[in-house]
Structure 1
Amino acid sequence: MNETMKIIFGLVGGLAIFIYGMNMMSECLQKAAGEKMKKILALLTKNPILGVLAGALTTAVLQSSSATTVMTIGFVSAGLMSLPQAISIILGANIGTTMTAQIIAFKITDYIYLFIFAGFLISFISKKEKVKNIGQTIFAFGLLFLGIETMGDVMKPLASSAFFVNMIGKVSHIPILGVCVGAMMTLVVQSSSATIAVLQNFASQAGPDGVTSIIGLAGAIPILLGDNIGTTITAVLASIGQPKDARRTAFAHCVFNISGAILFLFLVKPYAALIQFISPKGNEIDVISRQIANAHTGFNLVMTLIWIPLIPLMVKIVMKLVPDGKEMGVKALENPNYLDNKLIAQPAAALQLVAKEVMYCAKIVDEMIGKLQSGNGKIDKENAGIVEEKAKILQKLYASINDYFAALYSGGVLTEEQASQSAGMQSILCDIDRIGQLTREIMETVAKQNKGKHKYSKEALKELKKAMEQIQMIYGSCIRAISGDVDMDIKELMRQKEDIMQLDEKMRKNHIARVGKGKCDSKLTIPFNDVLHNIDRIGNSCVNLVEVAKENVTMQAFFAED
């Protein structure tokens, strides 16, 4: 194998190890963080300063500003976050992503295999999930540096290549060319952290004199600016087909990085001098990795400080870029309002969206019950059609949510605690769907009798209305309980279920009495009993919801809000 092929294979192989290690570390950190991720997300609804902090912390955990931006776009698309809030998150995400470069700047070459062995040993021996995740994080951390070391080893021959040195010289002296190179690298790799790691490693190679960097800090900064521009493409792709505010969020990311690149492009030499002044001193090839990391952090810090007070201006800019008007695509009613498949890899965020979707299903069922008990128990054609349509929507949403759960489980991203909570949420969804379908059955039974020869008496319709009113009352209380309403009295809800059972028995006796007096047709007995049976089954499902609430498996556990 010739030298060129060795370099190419070494670069792509080292890059693959680096990206794999970074993604593995991100996944394991999320699992190890657990509840802390939700606390970080809870800051999203606060003021811009806290929003920036939340974006930075979230990105530090996810090890990717693109992942944070995609997650933010998902929240905006679902209507859980306003555009100004989303912009503050993105400002913070750009700071958080510099953490990887800062870590890489530490010279831990002699300890790479120690990290890999220690991480493997902890994850292999430990039985506790959290400790195992910590061990895998350490193992992935070692792999990350192994990838960097591999790339560094194969880059050394490049420093002695006259052709390559001449080509790099051109890039160093034409800043706009460096920006283009950096942007293209990140567009291909889809990770600014990876391309900056390559840049740090390459810059650490000595030039012909054996002392100075082959590219120098002034030559590396334009490439660094290009890396920041290239990373915006992920957000733009994630926003395709999303509501206008989600697209505006993606463009805000572009505006931030492009405006910063343009500004700093005119300040490359003085900025390089400033970074060299505040960074550790020594031989250039020994300190340039840290200088690049500091330049990356400094760039994002300065641009964040500039844009925080100008967030209203940023909003106006992106609203001009994506003006109000006809949406690119209007969601059908039966399509999920909140679920976003791009967030499967971030379970803390994904479960929040699932919880919102489940509560939306609960609202649909409440509206169905409301239509059923209107009109003194009579089901008119309009209400019957509404209940039928909502039942169909509910079934499609039920299937979509379960498919989303399946994707979360198969993705292997859930911790044991999250998986347990998800099972509780699926139980809640199942009972909500069951209540909705039973409501439709009641509607069909009553509507059929209203159209036929044998109709219910006024007394029977009045009792049915009273039963449905009680059902709606207890159902509403149950939904508030699973929503996390701490003021709900669980014992009182159980007592209300007992009242429904007593009413059920009373209604059966009253119907028999009416049949005996000739007020009701005996042929109505079977359908009337079917209605009462379904009301009783709805009551049982409400009890199930109460039992889940008693076990503290509430939707509030998944929400980011305090």
Structure 2
Amino acid sequence: MSLNWQEMLFQFFGGLGLFLFSIKYMGDGLQKSAGDRLRDILDRYTTNPMMGVLVGILVTVLIQSSSGTTVITVGLVSAGFMTLRQAIGVIMGANIGTTFTAFIIGFDIGQFAYLVLAIGAFLLFFFKKNSIQNIGQIIFGLGGLFVGLELMSNGMKPLQELPTFIDMALRISENSILGVILGALVTLIIQSSSATIGILQGLYGEGLMPLHGALPILFGDNIGTTLTAVLASIGASVAARRVAAMHVLFNVIGTIIFLLILPQFTLYIEWLAGVAGLEPKMQIAFAHGSFNVVNTMIQLPLIGVWAYVVTKLIPGEDSVIEYKPRSLDLHFIEASPAIAIGQAKEEVLRMGKYSIRGLEETFEYLKTNDKKNAKNVLQYEEAINSLDQKITDYLVKVSAQPLSDTDSTRHHILLENVRDIERIGDHFENIVELIDYKTVNGVQLSEPAINDLSEMFTLTIETVQKAILALDTTNHGLAIDVTKKEELIDQMERTFRKKHIHRLNLGQCSAHSGIVFTDIVSNLERIGDHAVNIAEAILQKH
């Protein structure tokens, strides 16, 4: 029998493309429905490894991507919101959560796929409300997923009559290691474990592969999905590399365990299929689910051990930018408002230190154009914003308590300080965006312009440093010094603007470079204004 290879390949890869798109589209819809709560859920409810597992399952089901959950988790570990032990629990849960798609496929509602697509399209095009459109996106993605699977299955059907393929399937069935490698490689290439499982369900469903041959491929699929995280972690933070290493370790150990008991596991799935009357696709789904649930049950008690192992395997420390407050004990709000205000001051000072570091990194970015500096700036700005919200909420609660005149003044000053430091963060973020604009558009600043900016940056950093030190020590002399430096910054702004206009008239600068230059100068001047606000609050207190 001659096979129409073109039709087979077009159907298979077209179906694969539609499947991948549909998973992402459905995941995006689920994520929109969840709003910005995913990060908050991971932050708030992963207090212990068991909760981490449950949250990992939930978040992965919502975003339909274990890799996505891992990325969010790495970010939270890097930001100090989550420990490595908690992150390991989330990763285990993510592995279980990613089996959700396999169970959806296992229900095999392909005959209704086009109807599901139609319902999704109807909701998308005839309703303007975002919540309904999100539901439409989820439903449309679900329908597309089954249409994609149907196309892939149709593309693979003729293979059952191809002797070469039958021979290859038999070889894989006889060599479990080969099956694991194949599963890992296919997942690495496709970049989606759900797609690999979908293909496997199609192959097994069409009778192209026996169960004992399909299971090692399934195990390899779980390893393959971790390799994406490994590639992404190259050159990343220590925390990112440890989380990626743990993901690999978890799945490799699980695969070794299940390969050792492969005959028994195969019998278990066959028994389950007989008892529950499972269709072939659902058998793979249950095998996938069983693998990850049992693997988690075995390794969950060993989280402390694995955390120790990956820490030893990947030594080093990140310069962690902690987003989470270290102090702010709610107990002191009622018990001792004065202590509570003192704790708030400690966090405000940390905000201030972040503003200094962010400003220094911004200056480095201007000089080096190194994206690492820009990334650090944005992290400092995010940390400042996070602390701003937490400190402000805390101080608002403190204000409900009876305060002495002294404490009331301290409280008011801190609220003002928080606002000013947060604005400093906004301004150095603006400068980073201007530097990005300069780079993307090929804007060149003249050497005199660079020198002017360097001079103004240096003075601005010194001014902010002294303002934060004055806040820390309530030093009257330092506060006065800040006001003097801010006057110099104002003078610089006026002088540099005039010098820029002169260069522009001489044709030494372009209009685009002028926009970048004057906007950076303007942002630095405003940073100086906020620094002097901090100093003046101290002077008024005295």
- TM-score bin, normalised by smaller chain: 0.5 to 0.7
Q: What does 1:58-207 correspond to in 2, within 5 Å?
A: 58-205=59-206
Deviation at 1:181, TM superposition (A): 0.8
Report the equivalent of 2:383. Answer: 356
The 1:440–1:17 alpha-carbon spacing in structure 2 relative to 1, beyond 3 Å, is same
Residue 264 of structure 2, aligned match among 265, 270, 283: 270
Aligned AA for 1:356?
A
Alignment of 1:292 with 2:319, yes or no, is no
Deviates more, 1:17-26 or 1:152-161: 152-161
Q: What does 1:396-415 correspond to in 2, within 5 Å?
A: 396-400=428-432
Deviations along 1:96-121, whole A, 9 cap, x unmatched?
00001011001212110110000000
Deviation at 1:214, TM superposition (A): 2.4
The 1:95–1:230 alpha-carbon spacing in structure 2 relative to 1, beyond 3 Å, is same
- Inter-partner Cα distance in structure 2 for 1:126 and 1:175: 51
Q: What does 1:202-351 correspond to in 2, within 5 Å?
A: 202-205=203-206, 213-279=207-273, 287-324=279-316, 334-335=360-361
The 1:352–1:15 alpha-carbon spacing in structure 2 relative to 1, beyond 3 Å, is farther
- Inter-partner Cα distance in structure 2 for 1:536 and 1:317: 46
Gaps of 5+ in 1: 206-212, 342-350, 364-389, 405-435, 448-460, 469-529, 543-562
- Inter-partner Cα distance in structure 2 for 1:144 and 1:72: 27
- Inter-partner Cα distance in structure 2 for 1:272 and 1:79: 43
Deviates more, 1:394-403 or 1:2-11: 394-403
Report the equivalent of 1:547. Answer: none
The 1:335–1:287 alpha-carbon spacing in structure 2 relative to 1, beyond 3 Å, is farther
Deviation at 1:296, TM superposition (A): 0.5
Aligned AA for 1:178?
G
- Inter-partner Cα distance in structure 2 for 1:129 and 1:100: 24
- Inter-partner Cα distance in structure 2 for 1:187 and 1:18: 16
Deviation at 1:224, TM superposition (A): 0.3
Deviations along 1:299-352, whole A, 9 cap, x unmatched?
11011111111001101221222123799xxx986459xxxx9xxxxxxxxx99
- Whether the 8 Å contact between 2:482 and 2:531 is mirrored in structure 1 is no
Aligned AA for 1:92?
G
Deviations along 1:69-94, whole A, 9 cap, x unmatched?
12212222233221111111101100
Aligned AA for 2:301?
P
- Inter-partner Cα distance in structure 1 for 2:245 and 2:189: 20
The 1:356–1:190 alpha-carbon spacing in structure 2 relative to 1, beyond 3 Å, is same
Deviation at 1:358, TM superposition (A): 2.9
| Aligned residues with identical type, % of pairs | 40
The 1:280–1:142 alpha-carbon spacing in structure 2 relative to 1, beyond 3 Å, is farther
- Tell me the SS of whatever aligns to 2:279: helix
- Inter-partner Cα distance in structure 2 for 1:22 and 1:398: 36
Deviation at 1:171, TM superposition (A): 0.6
- Inter-partner Cα distance in structure 2 for 1:464 and 1:35: 40
- Inter-partner Cα distance in structure 2 for 1:466 and 1:247: 45
- Inter-partner Cα distance in structure 1 for 2:91 and 2:461: 48
Alignment of 1:32 with 2:33, yes or no, is yes
Deviations along 1:172-227, whole A, 9 cap, x unmatched?
1111111111011011001111101000011111xxxxxxx321211110000110
Deviations along 1:211-245, whole A, 9 cap, x unmatched?
xx321211110000110111111111222222222
The 1:248–1:441 alpha-carbon spacing in structure 2 relative to 1, beyond 3 Å, is closer
- Whether the 8 Å contact between 2:16 and 2:195 is mirrored in structure 1 is yes
Report the equivalent of 2:365. Answer: none
Aligned AA for 2:130?
E
TM-score (norm 1): 0.60
- Inter-partner Cα distance in structure 2 for 1:249 and 1:14: 33
- Inter-partner Cα distance in structure 2 for 1:391 and 1:53: 38
- Inter-partner Cα distance in structure 2 for 1:269 and 1:256: 22
Deviation at 1:23, TM superposition (A): 0.4
Aligned AA for 1:358?
N
Aligned AA for 2:86?
Q
Q: Which has the higher contact order (CA 8 A, sep 6+)?
A: 1
Deviation at 1:397, TM superposition (A): 4.0
Deviation at 1:270, TM superposition (A): 0.8
Q: What does 1:437-448 correspond to in 2, within 5 Å?
A: 440=460, 443=463
Report the equivalent of 1:50. Answer: 51
The 1:304–1:282 alpha-carbon spacing in structure 2 relative to 1, beyond 3 Å, is closer
- Whether the 8 Å contact between 1:335 and 1:396 is mirrored in structure 2 is no
Deviations along 1:425-472, whole A, 9 cap, x unmatched?
xxxxxxxxxxx99x949959x99xxxxxxxxxxxxx88975998xxxx
- Tell me the SS of whatever aligns to 2:235: coil
Deviation at 1:145, TM superposition (A): 0.7
- Tell me the SS of whatever aligns to 1:242: coil
- Inter-partner Cα distance in structure 2 for 1:396 and 1:463: 23
- Whether the 8 Å contact between 1:22 and 1:63 is mirrored in structure 2 is yes
Deviates more, 1:394-403 or 1:34-43: 394-403
Gaps of 5+ in 2: 320-353, 363-370, 372-377, 391-421, 437-455, 468-475, 484-524, 538-542
Report the equivalent of 2:9. Answer: 8
- Tell me the SS of whatever aligns to 1:152: helix
The 1:272–1:335 alpha-carbon spacing in structure 2 relative to 1, beyond 3 Å, is farther
- Whether the 8 Å contact between 2:99 and 2:288 is mirrored in structure 1 is yes
- Whether the 8 Å contact between 1:43 and 1:50 is mirrored in structure 2 is no
- Inter-partner Cα distance in structure 1 for 2:45 and 2:379: 13
The 1:535–1:160 alpha-carbon spacing in structure 2 relative to 1, beyond 3 Å, is closer
The 1:215–1:316 alpha-carbon spacing in structure 2 relative to 1, beyond 3 Å, is same
- Whether the 8 Å contact between 1:43 and 1:51 is mirrored in structure 2 is no
Deviation at 1:282, TM superposition (A): 8.6
- Whether the 8 Å contact between 2:103 and 2:285 is mirrored in structure 1 is yes
Deviation at 1:3, TM superposition (A): 1.1
- Tell me the SS of whatever aligns to 1:231: helix
The 1:138–1:107 alpha-carbon spacing in structure 2 relative to 1, beyond 3 Å, is same
The 1:236–1:182 alpha-carbon spacing in structure 2 relative to 1, beyond 3 Å, is same
- Inter-partner Cα distance in structure 2 for 1:403 and 1:240: 26
Deviates more, 1:66-75 or 1:92-101: 66-75
Q: How many residues align?
A: 382
- Inter-partner Cα distance in structure 1 for 2:100 and 2:252: 21
The 1:398–1:271 alpha-carbon spacing in structure 2 relative to 1, beyond 3 Å, is same
Output the aligned Cα RMSD.
4.1
Report the equivalent of 1:19. Answer: 20
- Inter-partner Cα distance in structure 2 for 1:399 and 1:115: 48
The 1:268–1:401 alpha-carbon spacing in structure 2 relative to 1, beyond 3 Å, is farther
